[in-house]
Copies of this chain bind each other. A is one copy, B any other.
Amino acid sequence: MSNIPLNQLEAWRAAQLLARREILAVDLARACLDRVSERDGELHAFVHIEPDTVLAQARALDAGPVRGPLHGLPLGVKDLFDTVDLPTAYGSPIYAVNRPAADAASVALCREAGALVLGKTVTTEFAYFHPGPTRNPHDLRHTPGGSSSGSAAAVADHMLPLALGTQTAGSIVRPAAYCGVVGYKPSAGLVPRAGVKSLSEALDTVGSFGRSVRDAALLGAVLTGDARLGALAALAAPRIGLCRTPDWSQADADTQQAFERASTVLAPLAAILQDAAWPIDLPDLVVLQKAVMSYEMSRALSHERVRHRELLSQPMRAMMDEGRAISGQVHASNLAITAAAQLSADAMFAQFDVLIAPSSTGEAPLGIAATGDPLFCRGWTLLGLPCVHLPFATGRHGLPVGLQLVGRRGDDYRLLAVAQWVHERLLG
């Protein structure tokens, strides 16, 4: 066994050692909890954590049979997911004392597979823009991104190897990019959202954070029910499309350099690497995503909007007012336009296994009063396509920079296998 501290082990490696009882879940949990004690006073990744309960659950895992592929692995759970044994506030004072009656389905699936819930991680208010207190572990003056702020920061800071997040606009890929970890947003429809606070049914997606593609995919296997994700095979050279998107001018020099570097490194190795043409019949996906999101959030959060308006942030109220100005008739039309756009976008994958695209406009912005811009994620989320953020570079302020790979809907296995192949070469 290696000499690397337990809390720094990758999840897949820890899982092997745990399954062979070469390390104990309680020791791994203690190493993670020690890291939290040491660091979370300034990082603020966690909103709730009960160390004694965690250690007791870890001992129970050590004493029992190996439950599944996540046996004994500490897991961070974004506080947008219901947990039966921990308070769940959804980032809102409205739910300050909320105790759910059940685990979210995805949390229950992870626990069934042996995961050890270490604590609840900070989310922005109902996973929208009003930030929590979390800071970027690479530079505390910067935002970790949002809305899955605590999950991304905790994984990046070696507080735990795996965490759950959700993406409605860019809430997995953006914080993964800002914190320099791998974030995986599965294809729409694969992971149950039961027990996750619902914002937009057309958009909300449950996904995973890890420090490697293999780790994010290990958790993804349990979430999607596709066991192949837990054992990504070596691949023949993939066909890669370079997709700068219509918003390329918003990508700063760091992001553009990362893109060019990936292109240069991968060109001689890929089976195909060429520019992917943006389908000319696609509508403005960013505008459309905003309309779908504001309409659906203003309705999904009707209870809060009607009964607790004074406890909603100003940006949330403003967004809901925008949504309320859209009629159901227009929304039905927006959903139909979205369905047609999904068909158009699918055509890009006749030529390519994956697309490479920007994850964010650049490094994590300075300050924690805002969580950055999900511009480069909105369209892919609307299209329901699986995305993986790969960190591999550093920007002008020394903060992480990377890119996302986008796959064909439903073909998450291929996306992740290619992502592993690409990541190895970009890091190599």
Residues of chain B contacted by A187 (CB below 8 angstroms) = 332
A95 at the interface (CB under 8 A from B): yes
CB distance from A382 to the nearest CB of B (A): 13
- Chain A contacts with B in 321-362, Cβ cutoff 8 A: 327-329, 331-333, 335-336
Residues of chain B contacted by A201 (CB below 8 angstroms) = 189, 192-194, 201
Main SS at interface, chain A: helix
Structural contact, A329 and B228, CB atoms closer than 8 A: yes
CB distance from A246 to the nearest CB of B (A): 25
A288 at the interface (CB under 8 A from B): no
A227 at the interface (CB under 8 A from B): yes
Structural contact, A410 and B335, CB atoms closer than 8 A: yes
Structural contact, A302 and B108, CB atoms closer than 8 A: yes
Structural contact, A300 and B410, CB atoms closer than 8 A: no
A10 at the interface (CB under 8 A from B): no
CB distance from A224 to the nearest CB of B (A): 5
Binds B, one of A18-26, A96-104, A117-125, A365-373: A96-104
A412 at the interface (CB under 8 A from B): yes
Q: In the complex, which of the residues B107, B327, B336, B410 contacts A226, with contact meaning CB atoms closer than 8 Å?
A: B327
CB contact under 8 A between A192 and B198, given known A84-B303, A105-B299, A303-B84: yes
Q: In the complex, which of the residues B105, B190, B301 contacts A332, with contact meaning CB atoms closer than 8 Å?
A: B190
Nearest B residue to A324 by beta-carbon distance?
Answer: B225
Structural contact, A95 and B105, CB atoms closer than 8 A: no
Residues of chain B contacted by A303 (CB below 8 angstroms) = 84, 102-105, 107-108, 195
Structural contact, A109 and B224, CB atoms closer than 8 A: no
Bound: A118/B224 CA distance, A? 40
Structural contact, A226 and B328, CB atoms closer than 8 A: yes
Residues of chain B contacted by A101 (CB below 8 angstroms) = 95, 98, 100
CB 8 Å contact bits of A203-235 with B (1 = contact, 0 = none) = 000000000000000000100111110000000
- Which among A98, A189, A306, A327 has the greatest number of chain B C-beta atoms within 10 A? A189
Bound: A217/B104 CA distance, A? 33
Q: In the complex this chain forms, how many copies of it are found?
A: 2
A27 at the interface (CB under 8 A from B): no
Residues of chain B contacted by A336 (CB below 8 angstroms) = 409-410
Structural contact, A192 and B300, CB atoms closer than 8 A: yes
Structural contact, B193 and A332, CB atoms closer than 8 A: no
Structural contact, B112 and A226, CB atoms closer than 8 A: no
CB 8 Å contact bits of A180-195 with B (1 = contact, 0 = none) = 0000000101101111
Bound: A200/B299 CA distance, A? 20
Residues of chain B contacted by A195 (CB below 8 angstroms) = 198, 303
CB contact under 8 A between A327 and B192, given known A108-B306, A332-B410: no
Residues of chain B contacted by A102 (CB below 8 angstroms) = 303-304
Bound: A103/B412 CA distance, A? 35
CB distance from A407 to the nearest CB of B (A): 12
Residues of chain B contacted by A392 (CB below 8 angstroms) = none
Structural contact, B194 and A198, CB atoms closer than 8 A: yes
Bound: A299/B105 CA distance, A? 6
Structural contact, A105 and B306, CB atoms closer than 8 A: no
A413 at the interface (CB under 8 A from B): yes
Bound: A324/B194 CA distance, A? 17
Query: Which residues of A are at the interface with B, using a C-beta cutoff of 8 A?
Result: 84, 95, 98, 100-105, 107-109, 111-112, 187, 189-190, 192-195, 197-198, 201-202, 221, 224-228, 295-296, 299-307, 327-329, 331-333, 335-336, 409-413
Top 4 nearest A-B pairs (CB, nearest first) are A225-B328, A226-B328, A194-B198, A108-B302
Knowing that A102-B303, A103-B302, A108-B306 touch, tell me 4 more A-B residue pairs with CB under 8 angstroms.
A187-B332, A192-B296, A194-B201, A225-B295
* 28 A-B contacts (beta carbon < 8 Å): A84-B303, A95-B101, A102-B303, A103-B302, A103-B303, A108-B302, A108-B305, A111-B306, A112-B302, A189-B201, A189-B335, A190-B331, A192-B201, A192-B296, A192-B302, A193-B201, A194-B197, A194-B300, A194-B301, A224-B332, A225-B327, A226-B328, A226-B329, A228-B329, A329-B413, A332-B410, A332-B412, A333-B410
